[in-house]
Amino acid sequence: MTANVRVQNDDFDVSREIAALRQGNPRVGAIASFIGVVRDLNDGDSVAEMTLEHYPGMTEKSIEEIITQARGRWDMMDALVIHRIGTLKPLDQIVLVVVTSAHRGEAFAACEFIMDFLKTCAPFWKKEQTGKGGRWVDARAADDAAAERWQTKA
Amino acid sequence: MITLLYFARLRETFGKASEEMEMPPGVATLEGVRATLAARGGVWAQELAAGRAFRAAVNQDIAGADTPVKDGDEVAFFPPVTGG
């Protein structure tokens, strides 16, 4: 069992990352992944680029804790989280979550759980550049709700 | 001394990413640290007013008003997170 958490400026190659995560493990029957990408529109304004800032140390620690929680809830094998920082443009990949498991149910659920908690707990902040200048993205109530629903749904 | 860290909008508004601060006598919780900073007035009072939507961490764990803070700790203030 490994939990890989990486915060990096560089882009990532999804198929290479998945291949590395499941390499040589014939017990893996299901792999679920989520990829977040930069859109060119947010809150009605076109976004030219965004800059992602984070809290080094706490970021990795908080994501590792989220993965540990996921392990306690589902029969999953390995997990990988890569989150990019720095300046990104529309179409760029921002985040990758991959979970391996014996069966799809656990893989899907654990992947969604990790992503929902990453959105609300991991210390990252986005600043968008739009035609009106730079602006910090506001946290969304919908993201809190997405994380909270896991409190009652096992 | 404690280390204070500020991120994102708070870092920009305060004009600094970090500073060292002597723990004022009688202060032993996150709420005490918040009140000390808010007492500086101006943007500090505005951004760190009780009830404002900011978050805080002590030694890299999300913290609440009652979380103990002692000499040598790392205390961070930041806006609600927006990663992913």
Residue A144 binned pLDDT confidence (cut-offs 50, 70, 90) = confident
pLDDT in tens, A69-83: 999 999 999 999 999
> Where does chain A show beta strands of DSSP type E?
3-8, 30-37, 41-42, 45-54, 76-84, 86-88, 93-101, 124-130, 133-136
Supply the pLDDT for residue B64.
94
Share of chain A above pLDDT 90, in %: 82
Calculate mean pLDDT across residues A52-78. Answer: 96
Contacts of A57 in chain B (CB under 8 A): 60
CB A62 within 8 A of CB A122: yes
Supply the pLDDT for residue A44.
86
Cα separation, B84 vs B69, whole angstroms: 30
pLDDT at residue A154 tops 50 = no
Nearest chain B Cα distance for residue A26, angstroms: 30
Size of interface A-B (CB pairs under 8 A): 73
Residue A107 binned pLDDT confidence (cut-offs 50, 70, 90) = very high
Contacts of B78 in chain A (CB under 8 A): 55, 123, 125
A84 torsion bin: left (phi>0), alpha (psi -120 to 50), beta (else): beta
Supply the pLDDT for residue B50.
80
Q: Which of A53, A57, A140 lies nearest to residue B7, judging by beta carbons?
A: A53
Calculate mean pLDDT across residues A128-154. Answer: 85
pLDDT at residue A36 tops 50 = yes
Supply the pLDDT for residue A151.
84
Q: Which of B8, B57, B84 lies nearest to residue A136, judging by beta carbons?
A: B8
pLDDT at residue A1 tops 90 = no
Give the residue from chain A lying closest to B78, CA to CA. Answer: A123
Q: Range with the lowest mean pLDDT among A19-28, A139-148, B6-15, B51-60?
A: A139-148
Residue A2 binned pLDDT confidence (cut-offs 50, 70, 90) = low
pLDDT in tens, B43-58: 999 999 987 889 999 9
pLDDT in tens, B7-60: 999 999 999 999 999 999 999 999 999 999 999 999 999 999 987 889 999 999
Assess A137–B contact: CB distance below 8 Å, yes or no: yes
Assess A63–B contact: CB distance below 8 Å, yes or no: no
pLDDT at residue A152 tops 80 = no
Supply the pLDDT for residue A43.
84
Mutate to test the interface with B, among A52, A66, A69, A125 (most CBs of B within 10 A): A125
Nearest chain A Cα distance for residue B33, angstroms: 20
Residues 6 or more apart from A35 whose CB is under 8 A from it?
Answer: A14, A93, A95, A96
Mean pLDDT in chain A? 94
Supply the pLDDT for residue A117.
96
Give the residue from chain A lying closest to B82, CA to CA. Answer: A125
